Structure 1
Amino acid sequence: MNISETMILDYDGPTTLLLDQPLLLSSPQSTQQCDVFYEEYPDPSSSVYAIVPFALFYSTIFMMGLAGNFAIIYVTLKHRTLQTVQNMFILNLAASDIIVCLLSLPITPVTNIYKNWFFGSVLCRLIPWVQGVSIFICTFSLGAIAVDRYILVVHPHTPPLSKQGALYVTVILWSLSIIVTIPYAVYMYVETYEGICGCFCTEKWPNPTSRRVYTMVVMIGQFVLPFIVMAFCYATIFSRLRNRAKVKLRKMDACSNALESSRPPPSPAPPTKNGMTEKSTDLRSQLIDPKGRGGRHRILAQTRRTTMILASMVVMFGLTWLPHNVVSIIIEYDDGRTMFSWFDHDLSYLINLFTHSIAMTNNIANPVLYAWLNPTFRQLVIETCLGRKPRRNVAVEQKFVRSMVAKSECTTRLTSRAQSPLKEMMNGESTMLNGIRNGSPEQHQLVPSERSSPVESIPSDPEPSEKPGGNLIYLEETDAFV
Structure 2
Amino acid sequence: MATTTSEPVNLSTTIHFQGYGNKTTNNRFEQPDWQVALWAIAYSLIVIVSVTGNVTVIWIILAHKRMRTVTNYFIVNLAFSDLSMATFNTVFNFVYATHSNWYFGLGYCRFQNFYPITAMCSSVYSMAAIAVDRYMAIIYPLKLRLSSTSTKIVIGVIWAVAFSLAFPQCYYSVTEYYPPRTLCFVNWPDDYGGKHHLTYQIALIILIYLLPLLVMLVTYSLIGQTLWGSEIPGEASDHFQNQIQAKHKVVKMMIVVVTTFALCWLPYHIYFILGSFNIEIYMQTYIQQIYLAIFWLAMSSTMYNPIIYCCLNQRFRSGFRHAFSWVPFIKVSEEDKMELQHTRTFRMTRSYRTDNTNNDHTPVKIMKS
> Do the structures match in fold with TM over 0.5?
yes
- 1:49 deviates by 5.3
| CA distance in structure 2 between the aligned counterparts of 1:452 and 1:117, rounded to whole angstroms | 81
- 1:175 deviates by 0.4
- Per the alignment, residue 201 of structure 1 pairs with 184
- Per the alignment, residue 141 of structure 2 pairs with 156
| CA distance in structure 2 between the aligned counterparts of 1:95 and 1:394, rounded to whole angstroms | 25
| CA distance in structure 2 between the aligned counterparts of 1:94 and 1:303, rounded to whole angstroms | 21
Q: TM-score, normalised by structure 2?
A: 0.80
1:134-193 C-alpha deviation (Å, 9 max, x unpaired): 121111111111111111111212210011111110110010011111112210011123
Residue 298 of structure 2 aligns to which amino acid in structure 1? A
| CA distance in structure 1 between the aligned counterparts of 2:125 and 2:106, rounded to whole angstroms | 29
Conservation of the 8 A alpha-carbon contact between 1:340 and 1:347: no
Conservation of the 8 A alpha-carbon contact between 2:8 and 2:282: no
Equivalent positions of 1:233-312 (< 5 A) are 233-244=219-230, 247-248=231-232, 251-252=233-234, 309=253, 311-312=255-256
- Per the alignment, residue 369 of structure 1 pairs with 308
| CA distance in structure 2 between the aligned counterparts of 1:221 and 1:392, rounded to whole angstroms | 43
| Residues 154 and 300 (structure 1), Cα distance of their counterparts in 2 relative to 1, 3 Å cut | closer
- Per the alignment, residue 210 of structure 1 pairs with 196
| Residues 52 and 450 (structure 1), Cα distance of their counterparts in 2 relative to 1, 3 Å cut | farther
| Residues 302 and 80 (structure 1), Cα distance of their counterparts in 2 relative to 1, 3 Å cut | closer
Match of 1:326 among 261, 265, 270: 270
Q: Does 2:353 align with 1:360?
A: no
Equivalent positions of 1:36-435 (< 5 A) are 37=25, 40-43=26-29, 46-48=31-33, 50-193=35-178, 196-207=179-190, 208-244=194-230, 247-248=231-232, 251-252=233-234, 309=253, 311-335=255-279, 337=280, 339=281, 345-370=284-309, 373-386=312-325, 391=334
Conservation of the 8 A alpha-carbon contact between 2:174 and 2:184: yes
Q: Secondary structure of 1:361's match?
A: helix
| CA distance in structure 1 between the aligned counterparts of 2:244 and 2:332, rounded to whole angstroms | 34
- 1:228 deviates by 0.9
Flag the structure with larger Rg: 1
Conservation of the 8 A alpha-carbon contact between 2:55 and 2:83: yes
Equivalent positions of 1:437-476 (< 5 A) are 450-451=354-355
| CA distance in structure 2 between the aligned counterparts of 1:171 and 1:364, rounded to whole angstroms | 24
1:184-234 C-alpha deviation (Å, 9 max, x unpaired): 2210011123xx421101211111210111111121122111211111111
1:35-79 C-alpha deviation (Å, 9 max, x unpaired): 7x4xx3323x72445423322221111111111100011122211
Conservation of the 8 A alpha-carbon contact between 1:64 and 1:364: yes
Conservation of the 8 A alpha-carbon contact between 1:9 and 1:201: no
Q: Secondary structure of 2:102's match?
A: coil
- 1:378 deviates by 1.6
| CA distance in structure 2 between the aligned counterparts of 1:84 and 1:441, rounded to whole angstroms | 10
Residue 224 of structure 2 aligns to which amino acid in structure 1? F
| Residues 165 and 305 (structure 1), Cα distance of their counterparts in 2 relative to 1, 3 Å cut | closer
| CA distance in structure 2 between the aligned counterparts of 1:231 and 1:389, rounded to whole angstroms | 37
Q: Percent identity?
A: 22
- 1:466 deviates by 8.3
- 1:452 deviates by 8.2
1:295-326 C-alpha deviation (Å, 9 max, x unpaired): 9xx99998996785454233212211111000
Gaps of 5+ in 1: 1-7, 27-33, 256-286, 289-294, 397-437, 454-459, 468-482
- Alignment root-mean-square deviation, CA: 3.9
| Residues 392 and 22 (structure 1), Cα distance of their counterparts in 2 relative to 1, 3 Å cut | closer
Q: Secondary structure of 1:190's match?
A: strand
Conservation of the 8 A alpha-carbon contact between 1:383 and 1:389: yes
Moved more, 125-134 or 144-153: 125-134
Q: Secondary structure of 2:318's match?
A: helix
| Residues 58 and 376 (structure 1), Cα distance of their counterparts in 2 relative to 1, 3 Å cut | same
| Residues 164 and 372 (structure 1), Cα distance of their counterparts in 2 relative to 1, 3 Å cut | farther
Residue 137 of structure 1 aligns to which amino acid in structure 2? S
Residue 146 of structure 2 aligns to which amino acid in structure 1? L
